[in-house]
Structure formats: C-alpha cells, structure tokens
Amino acid sequence: MPVTNGNRTLTEWLTLLLGVVILLVGLFFLIAGADLAMLGGSTYYALCGIILVASGVFMLMGRTLGAFLYLGALAYTWVWSLWEVGFSPVDLLPRAFGPTILGILVALTIPVLRRMESRRTLRGAV
Amino acid sequence: MRRSHLLATAAGLALACAPLAAHAQFAPAGSGGPPSATIPGPGNADEPKENTPPNSSYFAGPSPYAPQAPGVNAANLPDIESIDASQVPAMAPQQSANPSREDWPAYGRDDKATRYSPLTELNPETVKRLEPAFVYHTGSYPRPGQTNKWAAETTPIKVGDGLYMCSAQNDIMKLDPATGKEIWRRNLGVKYESIPYTAACKGVTYFTSSVVPEGEPCHNRILEGTLDMRLVAVDAATGAFCPAFGHNGQVNLMQGLGESVPGFVAMTAPPPVVNGVVVVNHEVLDGQRRWAPSGVVRGYDAESGKFVWAWDVGNPDDHNQPTGNRHYSRGTPNSWATMTGDNEQGLVYVPTGNSAGDYFSGLRSPAENAVSTSVVALDVKTGSPRWVYQTTRKDVWDYDMGSQVTMMDMPGSDGTPTPALIVPTKRGQTFVLDRQTGKPILPVEERPAPAGNVPGDSRAPTQPWSVGMPALRMPELKEKDMWGMSPIDQLYCRIKFRSAHYDGEFTAPSLDKPWIMYPGNNGGSDWGSMSYDPNTGILVANWNASPMYAQLITRKKADALGLMPIDDPNYKPGAGAAEGNGPMEGTPYAIAIAPFWDPVTKMLCHRPPYGMITAIDMKHGQKVLWQHPLGTARANGPWGLPTGLSWEIGTPNNGGSVVTAGGLIFIAAATDNLIRAIDEHTGKVVWSAVLPGGGQANPMTYEANGHQYVAIMAGGHHFMMTPITDQLVVYALPDAIKH
C-alpha cells in the first residue's frame, strides 16, 4: 500500500527540519552577506547564501539535489576558508566547524531524500 | 538502520547547537558591570526632535569658576592646616627602601616597585607541592540589593610579624602571616554609596615615624586612602588611630575639591611616602561631565597629616589649599594608578589620565593637554613637575595610565647604568625613561596619526611609539580576524567591523558611525603593572588585546537615552555609569561605548588570544624571551557558560605578576580563576590551582617561620564577570602547613 504524504517517518521530518535550518541560514547569509559585500567586505557569504537557499528549497521539496548543493557549498566553504586563513585551527573553527557538522547530517539525509524521491516517482507512475 | 539514523541525527543536531567555542567575556548589561551600551550605528548618533523628552529637570552641574559648597566629608572632619615643606621632619629609613628577605613591605614590594622577591624555597620543582595554607575572609562583598561593583584588587603587605591588608571597602587588618589569624581589625565604615566604578583597595602603606620613638604607639603606621576620600593612619601594632596624625588619625581629602557626590571621586591605590611626604591621588569617575571635580595631586606630612602642597593643573603656580569657597580647578586630568616614590631624586612619579569628558578634547586647556596621559615627575618639596613624559597626545581613547611605573638600572653602552623608569601603557607601548630627566633611553618615534572627524575638536598630528621595546599588542584588526562560534556570528562581527571607522590605533572619535578603539581602554598593560627581576634582567608583562566599539552621540540622543551624570539629582545607577555610556555633560556630545563583541553571545568579535604574558630580556637588547596566551577557556564560553576546556586561549586579564629568585612567576589575573606558577626562563606553567573567585589582583610572596608563602586576593572583578568573593587565599608547602 503506497505511503501518503500525511504519513511521513520521523527521519523524513528531521530531514525537512534540516532543510528549514539550511534555508534560514542561507537567507541570513544572503541578506547579511549582501550587506557585508556592499560595505566592502567579503563576498563569500552572499555567494554561499545563494547556494544554501537553493539547497534548503530543494531539500524541502524532498529532492536529493538539495543535499548535493549543500555539500557543494561546504566544499566552497572549505576552499574559501583555507584561502583566507590557511590551516589555522582557531580560525577554521568559526568558518568550517559548524558547516561541516551540518554537512555530516546532510550526508545522512541522502538515503532519506532518495526514498522520498523514489516514492514520488512511484506515485507518479501509478 | 532507521534507529541508528535517528540517533546520529539527534546527536549531530545537539552537537551543532552546543556552545563549542570558548571565548572571553565581560559583564552583562544591567546590574553591575557596563550598562546596556547599545551603539547607535551609522547615521543614528542623533535623535529626531519629537523623540526627545522635555528637559524639565535639566541639571547643569557646578560652574567651574563659581564658588561652591564643599563635597561630602565622610567622617565630618575639620579642615586640615598647612605646613611648609621645610617643616616636614626628615624621614627615617623605611622598610621598603631595603626590604628584609622575608618581607613584602610595599605594594610593589620595594621602593622601586619591582615585585621581585629574593625567596627561593619555591622553585620550578618544589612549587608542584604547593597547597592552600589558609583563607582569610575580609567581609566585604555585595549584599542583597546592591549592584555588583566589587573587585577588591588587594595586595597585602608583609612586615615582620604582620600581614597587613584592606578589605574592598577599606577596613584595615593585621593577620598572622603563618596562620591567617586576625590580630586586629580597624573598621572604617565606608558606605556602599561611596563606591565609585569599583569597590577596590589595592593596598596599604607601611610607614616608620622619625618623630615617634620606637616602642611607642604609631612609631610604625599603616596609611590608607579610602573610597570616601579619607587619608587614614593607624598604629601597626594595635590598629588604633594615630592621634597625632590629622584629626585623630584621619584627614578629609574632599577639602578643596568643591561640589561632589559620594562615588564621584575615590582613592583605590596605596599612597607612597617620599622623603616624609605622603602623596595622594584619586580617581574621578569617567565620562560624567566636563567640569568634574579636580584631579589634583596632593602631598601631606606623613607624621602630622598636615597639608604640604597641591599640584593643580589649572593653577600650576598656586600650591596652597584653596580657602573659603574656592576649589581646585575642575575637569583636570586625574591619576588613579599607584604612584612610585623616588627618595633619591626627591620625586614622585604620577601616572595621569585624560581630562574629564574623556572622548572630546575640544574644551581642554593647553595646560591640561601638556600633562594628560603622561608620567609626571613631581618634586615632593614643591609639588611642581620637574619633568613630564607624555605617552598619548590629546587622548580621546581613555589610554589613561593604569600601571605603577617600575624603577631599574639600565646598563648603558659604556657600562655605567642609567637610573631608569619602565613606563607601561594601555597602548602596549612600554617607554623606558631616564628618571633624572624624563628623556627616553630607548628610541621613540613620532609617527603620523589620523586627523579628527568631529567639528570643534582636532587630533594631534603625531603620536609617540616606543620602537626600542617589544610592542605588547596584536597586529591591527582586519575583517578576516573576526571570530565566533559559527559563520553566523562571524558574519555579524564582519558587518560590525565594516560599519565602523577603523584607521589603526589612533582612529579618531566619530559621530557619523562607530569607531573601533584597539588596543582600547582595556588593552595593553593596566594596573597589574609589570614585575622585574634585577638579577636576570627579565621584565614580566601581562597584557590585553580587547578592542572597544564606541560612537559619539548628540546631546539630544543622550537625553533620549536618559544618560545623566552621577551628580544629577535624577541620576539612576546603571543609566549611565562610568566606563560604559557616559553623558560627558558640558561637552557637545555624549559617548556610547561597549566592548567590540557580539552582544547576544557576549563573545568578543575578534579572534583570540585576548590576553598574553611576555618576558622581555632587558639586559640583552630588550628581546622577547618568551610570550604566550594567558588564561584557559575553562571558566569562559558563549553566553557566559563555562566550557571546562584547558585550552590556553588567552583570556582578558587584570592584575599583575610576582617574580622570585626561585625562578618563578606567580600570576592569576586571567578570567579562568586560576593562579599559576610559570618558569621565569621557559614560560612553562609549572603549577596551577583553582581559586574560589576571580584572581584579579596582584599576588605577593613572603616568608614566615622559615617557609615561603604566596598570597592572592581572589576577590573577582565585576567587569571581568568573575566570581566575587571576600577571600584572601594563601599557599605554602605541606611542611609549613603541618603545625
């Protein structure tokens, strides 16, 4: 019997919650980052914000692409961090630590998103 | 499969949300510590007219020129008479001139303020067995309903059979140095209302009379300046007031200061006695009004308590006490740091601050500008400056001099030593001067400084840089130095950084947007001062790197924020207390000021370390021997939560060091509430212990019953947000403690 939308599992809800978190972080990055860029500061936040917003939206749509976009943003974050401060643990802490923790969670959602995707495909086929 | 997913997700979320990074902290807004200083931000320094409350109760404050009523006289003492300097009896040899090996007879241990002890029982090996010997409770701490303004900052002195100290509210006591048993206690009844920015009593002064014969009461005396502006002399043996000093042992130091209220002016540092003259200075609450009470420095006869001279910057040729309703000139630079006496030169070295109305210099007189934020060498016979060395010109950054200067002999190129003075500053520039002339011994460069931003005020074109000494400062801030727990608060701080003027150390005050002060008034060297080992030539300095974020605001905006000076009848504590937002009444502007931090997490905006300790070899080219962060993250964290991490992050610190012939440095100071022993030669921490409160005080060491003791006041500090206690903690080896 097909699972309906109103019958999500807990992991699916947590995945969606993660999507909300990423979307909110992305919006903050985008808006505050644009402010910073206009003040003559780094453009990283605004650019990363665009990817994060997209990532969050796709995750909320239950699309695996959302997770891969986040992992892309994470890769960008690491490259930018290393470019800005090198291998200094104290300086990498605020830049890369939190995003990497989130990245691990996002990676864990990939099977969940895949399941959601395949279910949709299934429903579409019925 | 599903369950493990769930667990991993939950654990991960918890981790991501947990406070992960350690950080430095300052007091929260509201009760105690800096008031809720909201920096208005770009374009918000003014207030639209309709928002300005009607000024029905405008309090102008006393005119600097009109005659005025005397201020508070805490003990209702009659006026004190004057005597001529020639009538001051010749001074007997003092304990601090050549301290006994086992003693610590003055705040900085000796007349030179070296903070060096020749004791050797404790060395990098034996110190590992150090244990608490006793704890003494002074009885002064905030009672329910009182704002936390406490930071005892006390260093006991030890002479012979007595350990002499004061409580944060100036009660004086003599303790048995081996057991901590109270031998006598003299309560002085200093009221809560008299506490200025901080309830502190850095120490007392031991004075041996040449007039009273040995064996009689008050031959040896303890002198103290109080928060409520009394100069007190008690017998060292019994604690009884010295009847021949002032009026039964007390002198009212409010005499001649004109109008004031309790807590506006206060003494927190031990007064030095130089050639028989006890010299007193006092703090004047920052940021209140342009015409705050005078910063006058005065000399009194240490035998009789009679007035000898005054150094009043506004009346440089008049060294007498004002008579009738006249008063010392208002708004002049004050000196709150511990002064150093030089009997040989007949000088007292006075570290000065800037004029009242700290962040606007447009109304200061040339006479004030000549002596502010300087070391002033006053002749103790006349009260006139013999020389002045200025460390910041036209100071509008509150780089007031907090450190006691240290005397040393500087080896010259031909081998003859020059009598020198080490002058630490909040800028982290350490000047080394010839104490006979005030001329720099090590090179000083005049470097261009930025111009001003504010109409009616101008900045000095150049500022002095002591390029011959290692700078106790971090490189200038960049956007990428912004820090945080996550990219979110880091981004907030980057915006904050980019929204302010920042043009290096001397960025001028501004109205259009905030400006960053770095090192700022909590930076560099403060009242902990430095310690100097004359044998190894090692100079020990602990210092801070904690910027401030400030903005000038218009009078209208200040009124809308409810900022008013402490002497305003409508003044409410917390609405505009010192060191935070200040009304600067009488100047065109007020000041909004706070640490450069994220006000939500209370984490400083820039990367650590925030506190450092440095050892400088003064005998071989002033090179840095070692330098490392001071203070672990164990008691600090975001939102003030302790992380328990032993990571030596380098926290803000307040309080100084001791250096011993045993090759050890003792220091607490950091906000991790630890006292530690550091190997003088390697910089390695060889011992540490957790204190019951914040160790924001200078430790000291002495010998009793043949054993070495280390004492630290764990009184805490309201602004540093460390736990307040009334406990003096004294450590010794188990052999000393067993009996």
Q: How confident is the model at residue B702 (pLDDT cuts 50, 70, 90)?
A: very high
According to the model, what pLDDT value does residue B739 have?
54
According to the model, what pLDDT value does residue B644 have?
86
3-state secondary structure B361-423: CCCCCHHHHHHCCEEEEEECCCCCEEEEEECCCCCCCCCCCCCCCEEEEEECCCCCEEEEEEE
A59 vs B contacts (CB less than 8 Å) = none
According to the model, what pLDDT value does residue B438 have?
97
One DSSP character per residue, A21-39 reads: HHHHHHHHHHHHHHHHHHT
Find, in chain B, the residue whose alpha carbon is nearest to that of A83: B480
Interface test with B, best of A42, A43, A52, A82 (most B CBs within 10 A): A42
Q: Would you state the structure tokens that stand for residue B449, as one six-digit string?
A: 């400084």
One DSSP character per residue, B441-484 reads: SS--EEEE-PPP-STT----SEEEE-TTS---SPPPP-GGGB--
- Per-residue model confidence as pLDDT tens digits over B79-132: 999 999 999 999 999 999 999 999 999 999 999 999 999 999 999 999 999 999
- Higher-confidence residue: B2 or B53? B53
Q: In the 8-state DSSP scheme, what is residue A86?
A: T
Choose the closest CB to A32 out of B480, B485, B491.
B491
- Per-residue model confidence as pLDDT tens digits over B438-474: 999 999 999 999 999 899 999 999 999 999 999 999 9
B483 vs A contacts (CB less than 8 Å) = 90-91, 93-94
Q: Is residue A52 part of a domain?
A: yes
Choose the closest CB to A102 out of B16, B479, B499.
B16
Place of tokens 């239950």: A62
Burial class (CB in 10 A: 0-12, 13-18, 19+), B33: buried
Interface test with A, best of B23, B488, B493, B647 (most A CBs within 10 A): B488
Q: Would you state the structure tokens that stand for residue B518, as one six-digit string?
A: 């770095």
Q: Which residues of B are catalytic?
A: 398
pLDDT at B611 exceeding the cut of 90: yes
Burial class (CB in 10 A: 0-12, 13-18, 19+), B463: buried
Find, in chain A, the residue whose alpha carbon is nearest to that of B10: A14
Decide if A98 touches B, using CB distance below 8 A: yes
**Over the range B717-727, which residues count as b (16 or more CB within 10 Å of their CB) and which as e?**
bbbbbbebbbb
For chain B, the average pLDDT equals 91
B253: left (phi over 0), alpha (psi -120 to 50) or beta: alpha
Q: Would you state the structure tokens that stand for residue B88, as one six-digit string?
A: 């001051």
Decide if A10 touches B, using CB distance below 8 A: yes
Choose the closest CB to A94 out of B9, B490, B495.
B490
Is B9 close to A105, i.e. CB distance below 8 A?
Answer: yes
According to the model, what pLDDT value does residue B568 have?
85
According to the model, what pLDDT value does residue A124 have?
64
A19 vs B contacts (CB less than 8 Å) = none
Among B615, B597, B612, B655, smallest CA distance to B29 is for: B597
Q: How confident is the model at residue B51 (pLDDT cuts 50, 70, 90)?
A: low
- Per-residue model confidence as pLDDT tens digits over B303-343: 999 999 999 999 999 999 998 888 999 999 999 999 999 99
Domain span at residue A51?
10-115
Q: Is residue A34 part of a domain?
A: yes
- Per-residue model confidence as pLDDT tens digits over B511-529: 999 999 999 999 999 999 9
pLDDT at B77 exceeding the cut of 50: yes
Q: Is residue A123 part of a domain?
A: no
Q: CA of B714, closest CA in chain A: separation in Å?
A: 30
Q: Is residue A4 part of a domain?
A: no
- Per-residue model confidence as pLDDT tens digits over B375-421: 999 999 999 999 999 999 999 999 999 999 999 999 877 878 999 99
Decide if A31 touches B, using CB distance below 8 A: no
Find, in chain A, the residue whose alpha carbon is nearest to that of B15: A101
Q: Which long-range contacts does B60-63 make (Cβ < 8 Å, 24+ apart)?
A: B60/B585, B61/B289, B61/B291, B61/B565, B61/B567, B61/B568, B61/B585, B61/B586, B62/B258, B62/B259, B62/B291, B62/B330, B63/B291
pLDDT at B32 exceeding the cut of 70: no
Is B6 close to A45, i.e. CB distance below 8 A?
Answer: no
Coil, helix or strand at residue B125: coil
pLDDT at A93 exceeding the cut of 90: yes
A13 vs B contacts (CB less than 8 Å) = none
Distance CA B130, CA B89 (A): 45
Decide if A70 touches B, using CB distance below 8 A: no
According to the model, what pLDDT value does residue B34 have?
40
Decide if A49 touches B, using CB distance below 8 A: no
A92 vs B contacts (CB less than 8 Å) = none
According to the model, what pLDDT value does residue B71 have?
75
Is A94 close to B489, i.e. CB distance below 8 A?
Answer: yes
Residues from B contacting A (CB-CB < 8 Å) are 2, 5-6, 8-9, 12-13, 15-16, 20-21, 479-480, 483-492, 494-495, 497-499, 607-608
Is B9 close to A25, i.e. CB distance below 8 A?
Answer: no
According to the model, what pLDDT value does residue B5 have?
41
According to the model, what pLDDT value does residue B643 have?
86
To the nearest whole percent, how much of chain B has pLDDT over 90?
A: 80
| Count of domains observed in chain A | 1
Place of tokens 């903005």: B551
Choose the closest CB to B499 out of A39, A99, A112.
A39
pLDDT at B54 exceeding the cut of 70: no
Q: Would you state the structure tokens that stand for residue B303, as one six-digit string?
A: 């035998």
Q: Is residue A60 part of a domain?
A: yes
A108 vs B contacts (CB less than 8 Å) = 5, 8-9, 12
Is A84 close to B480, i.e. CB distance below 8 A?
Answer: yes
Helix (H) or strand (E) holding B493: helix B487-498
Contact yes or no for B651/B633 (Cβ under 8 A): yes
Choose the closest CB to A101 out of B12, B488, B498.
B12
According to the model, what pLDDT value does residue B55 have?
52
Is A10 close to B6, i.e. CB distance below 8 A?
Answer: yes
Strand stretches in B236-373, DSSP E: 250-252, 265-266, 273-274, 277-280, 283-284, 297-301, 307-311, 340-342, 347-351
Is B487 close to A45, i.e. CB distance below 8 A?
Answer: yes
A vs B: CB pairs below 8 A:
87
Choose the closest CB to B13 out of A9, A97, A105.
A105
Interface test with B, best of A81, A91, A100 (most B CBs within 10 A): A91
Q: Is residue A51 part of a domain?
A: yes
Is B5 close to A112, i.e. CB distance below 8 A?
Answer: yes
Distance CA B718, CA B696 (A): 10
Choose the closest CB to B488 out of A28, A36, A97.
A28
According to the model, what pLDDT value does residue B615 have?
98
B12 vs A contacts (CB less than 8 Å) = 101, 104-105, 108
Q: CA of A98, closest CA in chain B: separation in Å?
A: 6
pLDDT at B22 exceeding the cut of 60: no
Decide if A14 touches B, using CB distance below 8 A: yes
Q: At what angle do helices B487-498 and A10-38 cross, to 10 degrees?
A: 10
User: What average pLDDT does range B173-185 have in this prediction?
Assistant: 98
Q: Is residue A121 part of a domain?
A: no
Q: CA of B46, closest CA in chain A: separation in Å?
A: 22
Distance CA B10, CA A119 (A): 25
Contact yes or no for B278/B272 (Cβ under 8 A): yes
What's the full length of chain A, in residues? 126
According to the model, what pLDDT value does residue B579 have?
54
Q: Is residue A28 part of a domain?
A: yes
Decide if A46 touches B, using CB distance below 8 A: no
One DSSP character per residue, B509-544 reads: P-SSS-EEESS-TTSB--TT--EEETTTTEEEEEEE
Is B487 close to A98, i.e. CB distance below 8 A?
Answer: yes
B2 vs A contacts (CB less than 8 Å) = 9, 11
A82 vs B contacts (CB less than 8 Å) = none
According to the model, what pLDDT value does residue B31 have?
34
According to the model, what pLDDT value does residue B50 have?
64
- Higher-confidence residue: A77 or B600? A77
Bridge partners (DSSP) of residue B173 are B165, B185
According to the model, what pLDDT value does residue B408 have?
97
Q: How confident is the model at residue B63 (pLDDT cuts 50, 70, 90)?
A: confident
Distance CA B611, CA B671 (A): 10
Asked if the interface predicted TM-score (ipTM) of this complex is over 0.90, the answer is yes
Q: How confident is the model at residue B256 (pLDDT cuts 50, 70, 90)?
A: very high
Q: Which residues contact B323 (CB under 8 A, 6 or more apart)?
A: none
Contact yes or no for B403/B495 (Cβ under 8 A): no
B607 vs A contacts (CB less than 8 Å) = 90-91
According to the model, what pLDDT value does residue B24 have?
38
According to the model, what pLDDT value does residue B49 have?
64
| CA torsion, ordered B211, B217, B220, B221, to nearest 10 deg | -100
